[in-house]
Structures are given as structure tokens and as C-alpha cells.
Amino acid sequence: MFQETPRLPSRDGVLRAAEKIAAILPPTPLLPVEIGGIRCWVKAENLQPIGAFKIRGGWHRLTDLSDDQRARGVVAVSSGNHAQGVAWAARKLGISATIVMPRDAPQVKLDATRALGAEVVLYNRPGEDREEVARKICDASGATLVHAFADPWVIEGQGTAGIEITAQLGRQPSRILACCGGGGLAAGLSLACPDSAIVPVEPFGWDTLGRSLLARSIVRMGENPPSTICDALQPMSSAQINLDVLLDRSDPGVAVTDAEVRSAQRLAFSRLRLVLEPGGAAALAAALSGKVELDENTVIMLTGGNTDPDSFAAVITGTH
């Protein structure tokens, strides 16, 4: 299924990645927010140059490629944020990038990925096997597949957000709420902040990581998955490498509904003056829903802000 690699992600790897990322990207802001009378924190990863935290894993992975690997290019599969993370890093390093994206990805994500110089190959979200599409490209070109979450570098790279948070807060958070698709960010944060409780937040009906943590083995989505507005959080399953890191360290987490996600986008608009895409607002939705205990050392990850104007307008005016 996934490109296998014997290397396991490590805290040392996260620290090494954090040094590389600090050299090229300023820390994203950690901003106070009051929820239900408790002042906690949001980490505004939507303010990254590509509008999402995925730039971290992309940079750590691509900078560790050998000259020979760089010459053969990279391939990624992504609904749009990992796509931009890999494309951004590839352009900066002069590496050719091919990104396999679903035909129904938000237009802003398709446009932005192409604007970063990547070649975009489209597939149909239900039906075509996107991993298969990517593998064929890799087989033909010798390119390296950069998986969106089942990759030790990507996990370590995403974890660097936790190193920044610890420096900004002056300690490890009590708890970190992380928007969760495959679990790359959650796994990276658990390595970066071993003293923090990690709470993965998934879309309702798409809580494959949560169910995998409870089952202690990978649970895949069944046939006819429910719809969700969180286009960034729809992998068909997590992966063993993520589960291995998170087992015995992470809560099974919580799931949030589309309505809860929209409320969180509205609050981010009106009280934080931040633009969040649905998937980027999932952790905030969990905090607002009362499903997670909050305290003054709780950090809520705001993971992305790439959303089409029409969709965002419908959410903030309540006419979706």
C-alpha cells in the first residue's frame, strides 16, 4: 500500500527537522483565545506561506533526498495541502514534482499547486486508486513518493510545530488538539511533546485513526463513506507507522460534525480574524463543542486556510 521504509520517526528527527525549518520559516503565531471562560491557545498554521502546516513535512523530506533522488523528482498524492507543501519545497530546491490530486479538490488548491510549478495529475475520488496512479508514475520515472502521512520524515516535519509551541509557551502544552486525516501531525506532535496529551480530531464518520487506536490495528473506511466538508481529512485509513507512534500515547480523540466545523470557521472569522478551511477548523470545532476538556495550557492546531471564496462566504453568512 505505502512505500515501505525501515526507518522509524524519532524525537531526534523532529529536533533536526525543527532546526532546518527554523532556518527558512519564521514560527507561526501562537495566539490566545477564550473559550467558555478559559484562555487557551491556537497555533495559526494557516499563516504558513502555503496556508497549511504541510510545508513542514515537505521541506524536511525533500531536503534529505540525495542528489540522485532529487534528479529523479518527487511524486505526492494529496487533496491539496500536502500537494502545496511538496510543490513549495520542490520549487525552492529545483526538484520536479508531480502531484496526484482528486478532481473534486477545491479550485484554490489545484490553482495554487500548479502556480508552485508542480505537474498536477487528476483522479476521481471515489473509484480510482490514487496510490496506484502515483505508483505507476514512480515506476516509470524513478521518482520518490512522498506520502502525505505514512512517512518518517513527514511525521517528523509536522512535529516541528510542537517544538515551536513549546518554545512559545515556555513549556509543553497540557493537551494538543490536532486536526487529523492520516495522523501525520498527531504522530509528529506526540514525538515533539511527549508530556502533552494528543487529541486527534477527525470528521464525523471518518474517524479511522480513532477507531484504529481503539482496535490497536488499522481500520479502513467501509464502502459508501458519509460526506464531509473536510476535504483535507479524508484518507481511507491511517497507516501502521502512524499507529505505532500513537498507540499508548494518544487519546482515541473525537469526531466533529460539519455543523460544528462551520461554527468553528465562523468563530475564527469573527473573533480571530483568520480564514480557516473546514479541515483546518476541526480541532477548534472540538474545543468549542465541549467534547474536550480545556485549560490554560491547551493548544488548538489551526491547520489550514485554503478554501474557495464561494464556500467560505456561504459558511460565514450561514447560507451554505
Binding residues vs a second copy (CB under 8 A): 26, 28-32, 44, 46-47, 49, 51, 108, 266, 269-270, 272-276, 305-306, 309-310, 312-314, 316-318
Nearer to a second copy, 151 or 231 (CB): 231
Nearer to a second copy, 221 or 316 (CB): 316
Return left, alpha or beta for 223; rule: phi > 0 is left, psi -120 to 50 is alpha, else beta. beta
DSSP 247: T
Smallest distance, a second copy to C-beta of residue 30, A: 8
Smallest distance, a second copy to C-beta of residue 177, A: 19
Nearer to a second copy, 96 or 311 (CB): 311
On whether the CB atoms of residues 208 and 236 are closer than 8 A, the answer is yes
Smallest distance, a second copy to C-beta of residue 273, A: 3
Nearer to a second copy, 167 or 313 (CB): 313
Nearer to a second copy, 210 or 278 (CB): 278
* C-alpha to C-alpha distance for 281 and 179, rounded to whole angstroms: 7
Smallest distance, a second copy to C-beta of residue 300, A: 15
Smallest distance, a second copy to C-beta of residue 172, A: 19
* C-alpha to C-alpha distance for 305 and 46, rounded to whole angstroms: 5
Smallest distance, a second copy to C-beta of residue 313, A: 4
DSSP 277-317: -TGGGHHHHHHHHT-S---TTEEEEE-B----HHHHHHHHT
144-145, strands of its sheet edge to edge: 119-123, 97-102, 74-77, 144-145
End-to-end CA distance of the chain: 36
* C-alpha to C-alpha distance for 53 and 295, rounded to whole angstroms: 24
Smallest distance, a second copy to C-beta of residue 272, A: 7
Nearer to a second copy, 46 or 234 (CB): 46
The sign of the dihedral angle between the CA atoms of 156, 198, 243, 182 is negative
What does the radius of gyration of the chain's CA atoms come to, in whole angstroms?
A: 18
Nearer to a second copy, 29 or 117 (CB): 29
On whether the CB atoms of residues 48 and 28 are closer than 8 A, the answer is yes
